[in-house]
Amino acid sequence: MNSIDEFLGRKPSKRSLRRIKDKDLYETVEEVFDTETLLALYEIMRRGIVSKVYGVISSGKEARIYWAKDRKGGDLALKIYLTMTAEFRKSIWKYIYGDPRFEGMSPRNIKQLIYLWTRKEFRNLKRLYEAGVRVPKPIFVYKNILVMEFIGKNGIRAPLLKEVYRDLDLDTHKRIFNKVIEYIARAYHLANLVHADLSEYNIMVYDSEPVIIDVSQAVHIAHMNALEFLRRDISNIVRFFKYEVRLNIPSEEEVYKEVMEWKLKEGMKEEEKE
C-alpha cells in the first residue's frame, strides 16, 4: 500500500495531514486547503491524473487556478472552487434554475452546490470543446476540482485579451473578433449553450488566437434568460472591439443577426462546395 492509500484509509486529522511526505503537494497547498479539498486532491493524484501541483495562477473570490503537471510532465490547470458566499450562491442560482439539466437540485447544501457548480463547468467545457469552440480541454472533474488543459507555456499563463490588446495589430484583432463571434455561434447552435459572462476578461490570447474560459455560468439555450444573456455577451464583445480596440465592425444588431443565422450560412457554404 502506498502512503496516499494509507492516508486515505485513515481518519484524517490536522496532525496526520501535516505528516504527509509528498513534498510537491505539501509545499504549495498545505496551508491553503481545507481537509476535504486536500483529500480530493490526493484522490486525483492517486488516480494518476495529476502528479504535481505548483503555485497559484489566479486567486479569485470563489475559485483558485493552479498550475499542475500530469504523469508525463505535461502542463495542467486546476480550477478549485473553495467557498461560496451567500452573495455568490444568490447570483449563480439564476444560471442553475430553469436549466433542464439541473432539475431537482436544492441550493441548500453548500458543499453539494459547489460540487454541482464544478461539474457544471466541466460539462459546459466538454460540450463547447466538442462543438469546436476553443476552450481549455476538459480532462477530469472530482468534487470541487476541475482539471483542464493549461493555456500558456512553462507555467506562465497566456494573457487575457484585456491585458494584451494594446500590443496586437489590426489583422490579429480582426481575426480574434471573427473567431469569437464564430465561437458564440458554435456554442449556440452546436453546443446549445450561451456563455453568459463573455467579455475581454474571459478570453485568453494564446499564440494570437482567442481561447474562451470561465464557463461555469454558461446556460442551455432552453434557459428562460438565454437570449438576454446572448445579447449581453454580444454587446460586451462589440463594445470592446468598437470602442477600446477601435476596430471597424458591424453593429450589435447585425452581429446578433449573424450569430442567429450562422448555421444557415454554414449550410450554404457546404452547398457551394458541392
Report, as residue numbers or ranges, the catalytic residues. Answer: 197, 214
Of the candidates 63, 197, 74, which has an alpha carbon nearest to the alpha carbon of residue 124?
197
**How far, rounded to the nearest angstrom, does the alpha carbon of residue 77 sit from its chain's CA centroid?**
10
In this complex, which beta carbon is closest to ligand ATP, that of residue 51 or of residue 202? Answer: 202
| By CB under 6 A, residue 157 contacts ligand ATP | yes
- 197 phi, psi to nearest 5 deg: -150, 40
| By CB under 6 A, residue 60 contacts ligand ATP | yes
Contact 237, 258 (CB under 8 A): no
Q: What is the DSSP letter of 102?
A: G
Cα 56-89-64 angle, rounded to 5 deg: 5
The tally of CA atoms less than 13 A away on the side-chain side of residue 264 is 5
| By CB under 6 A, residue 203 contacts ligand ATP | no
- Please give the size of the binding site for ligand ATP, defined by CB under 6 A: 20
| By CB under 6 A, residue 212 contacts ligand ATP | no
Sign of CA dihedral 41, 44, 45, 46: positive
- Give Cα separations from 111 to 37, 72, 80, 108, 126 (angstroms): 11, 32, 13, 9, 23
Binding mask 109-148 for ligand ATP (x = CB under 6 A): ---------------------------x-----------x
Q: Which residue has the cell 455561434?
A: 185
Site for Mn ion in 168-207 (CB under 5 A): 202
Site for Mn ion in 204-223 (CB under 5 A): 214
Question: Per-residue DSSP letters for 150-172?
Answer: --EETTEEPPBHHHHGGGS-HHH
In this complex, which beta carbon is closest to Mn ion, that of residue 71 or of residue 137? Answer: 137
With CB under 5 to 8 Å by kind, the binding choice for 41 among ligand ATP, Mn ion, none is none
Judged by CB under 6 A, the residue of 77, 84, 218, 219 near ligand ATP is 77
Minimal distance in Å, beta carbon 214 to Mn ion? 4
Q: Which amino acid appears at position 130 of this protein?
A: E
In this complex, which beta carbon is closest to ligand ATP, that of residue 37 or of residue 202? Answer: 202
In this complex, which beta carbon is closest to ligand ATP, that of residue 37 or of residue 189? Answer: 37
Of the candidates 54, 66, 108, which has an alpha carbon nearest to the alpha carbon of residue 84?
108
Judged by CB under 6 A, the residue of 160, 181, 219, 230 near ligand ATP is 160
Judged by CB under 6 A, the residue of 58, 83, 85, 208 near ligand ATP is 58
In this complex, which beta carbon is closest to ligand ATP, that of residue 39 or of residue 56? Answer: 56
| By CB under 6 A, residue 12 contacts ligand ATP | no
Of the candidates 127, 99, 93, 94, which has an alpha carbon nearest to the alpha carbon of residue 113?
93
With CB under 5 to 8 Å by kind, the binding choice for 251 among Mn ion, ligand ATP, none is none
All three cell numbers of 241: 472591439
Positions touching ligand ATP (CB under 6 A) are 57-58, 60-63, 65, 77, 79, 136, 148-152, 157, 160, 202, 213-214
Positions touching Mn ion (CB under 5 A) are 202, 214
